[in-house]
Amino acid sequence: MNRMVWLDPAQQRVRVQTGMSWRELQELIDPHGLAVSIMQSYSNFSIGGSLSVNCHGRYVGKGSLIHSLRALQLIDGDGQVHELSRERDPRLFHAAVGGYGGLGAITEAEFDLSLNHRIVRRAERVALDEYPAWFAERVLADPASVLHNADLLPPRFDAPVAVTWSRCAEPLTVDERLIARNGDYRRDRKLIWSASELPGGPWMRERYSVERLLREREVVWRNREASLDIASLEPSTRRYSTYLLQEYFVPVPAFAEFARALARLLRDFEVHALNVSIRHAPADRQSLLSWSPTEVFSFVLYHKQRSGARADAVAGQWTRRLIDLALDHGGRHYLPYRLHATREQFLRGYPAAPTFAALKRQIDPRGRFRNRMWDKYLPR
């Protein structure tokens, strides 16, 4: 299920089987000077899984994956094939994207593509209170901006380091078009371990990684920056500890207040947070279970915790506090991660869930498409 069905380079469109990974698609479209329009920061994920969570990345002004999607094919529990689009059965189309596999198996998808430009990296520090206006004026309003994120670093999480990749015509500083597969990431893993375990780890990260980012200019192909490998984050062992993600979306006007409250909570609970990465997304009023019904900033929390049930229970306590914090600021949490949220929190953040449940009863009356998330949260 990882075959390309067709490619139209002139129209910048492609149809694929959804067992394909983004990396596999990049290898097929790069020779045509094309790039994926919207995907996660790392290229290992399957396209079908990405549709099921309605993923997003660092793409400026793009938001969730549904915005680049033209059509999809879904097979229901009785084996019936549904060809879906905004014009053809739009209700099922909008529910399947971000539907976490609850309605059927997404087997094919048709996307708009983008051109594979050269991009240049620029990094700078921005004051927390000034960041939303700075982003709107310097990044979002600039048509050359392609990728952007800003990192909040421990222990204060109050000084964004903003990184923007913009289209350019400058000479490449790295010639390769895609990052080589099966790379050696032992150095990356050591740096992550050092930053999270050694005394003075945050200072070391600031001294070497951040200062280097601010100082060095890099020009690469867009596809190279989009072909990052998740293996670079994988620890050598998860026996004693593990690294996890959480994500929260809040409306743009609540950015600074939420950021400060988030930092206080991380310090109060002594959360072993490596960083909080900020992204932006325009409103998604298409997907039924949209995580951005209004324009939002997302806060991606990357943290380390000890392995085992006790550590997970402790993480559940502060996670539910963070979910309440996002809800109180008009936002919500992202659903693909640990199932720490209560059912009440889920329904408050995703009020269209009863509509999704009613549609599921129609298209999957025998409940063949299940997972732990829907078993816990789906309205009955």
Q: Under DSSP, is residue 113 helix (H, G, I), strand (E, B) or coil?
A: strand
Task: For residue 206, give every residue at least 6 positions away whose Cβ sits within 8 Å of its Cβ, in sequence order, or none.
Answer: 153
Percent of the chain with pLDDT strictly greater than 70: 95
In a 10 Å sphere around its CB, with 0-12 CB exposed, 13-18 middle and 19+ buried, how is residue 84 labelled? buried
* 270: its two tokens: 């002594």
Is the separation of the CB atoms in 349 and 332 below 8 Å? Answer: yes
Is the separation of the CB atoms in 52 and 101 below 8 Å? Answer: yes
User: In this predicted structure, what is the pLDDT of residue 205?
Assistant: 64
Task: For residue 208, give every residue at least 6 positions away whose Cβ sits within 8 Å of its Cβ, in sequence order, or none.
Answer: none
Give, in order, the Cα–Cα distances in Å from 280 to each of 121, 141, 251: 18, 13, 10
CATH number of the domain enclosing 22: 3.30.465.10
Q: What is the pTM of this model?
A: 0.94
Is the separation of the CB atoms in 284 and 294 below 8 Å? Answer: no
Q: Under DSSP, is residue 61 helix (H, G, I), strand (E, B) or coil?
A: coil
| CA atoms of 27 and 127, how far apart (whole Å) | 39
Q: Which neighbouring-strand residues pair with 152?
A: 276
| Placement of tokens 């099966």 in the chain | 182
| 157 within domain boundaries | no
Nearest to 260 by CA among 363, 137, 128, 169: 128
Domain holding 30, by residue range, is 4-115
Q: What is the mean pLDDT of residues 326-336?
A: 99
| 48 within domain boundaries | yes
How far the first Cα of the chain sits from its last, in Å, is 33
Nearest to 219 by CA among 169, 161, 180: 169
| CA atoms of 292 and 269, how far apart (whole Å) | 28
| 338 within domain boundaries | no
Q: C-alpha angle 166/135/260, rounded to 5°?
A: 135
What's the pLDDT tens digit per position in 238-297?
A: 888 899 999 999 999 999 999 999 999 999 999 999 999 999 999 999 999 999 999 999
> In one letter, which amino acid is 167?
R
Nearest to 60 by CA among 264, 197, 222: 222
Q: What is the mean pLDDT of residues 77-82?
A: 96
| 156 within domain boundaries | no
What's the pLDDT tens digit per position in 184-219?
A: 777 777 777 666 666 666 656 666 678 888 989 999
Give helix 309-328 / helix 255-268 axis angle, nearest 10°: 160
User: In this predicted structure, what is the pLDDT of residue 355?
Assistant: 98
User: In this predicted structure, what is the pLDDT of residue 380?
Assistant: 72
Q: Is 346's pLDDT higher than 70?
A: yes
Residue 129: DSSP 8-state: T
| 124 within domain boundaries | no
User: In this predicted structure, what is the pLDDT of residue 237?
Assistant: 74
| 42 within domain boundaries | yes
| 16 within domain boundaries | yes
The total number of structural domains in the chain stands at: 1
| 69 within domain boundaries | yes
Nearest to 320 by CA among 307, 295, 337: 337
> In one letter, which amino acid is 278?
I
| Placement of tokens 């994207």 in the chain | 97
Is the separation of the CB atoms in 123 and 171 below 8 Å? Answer: no
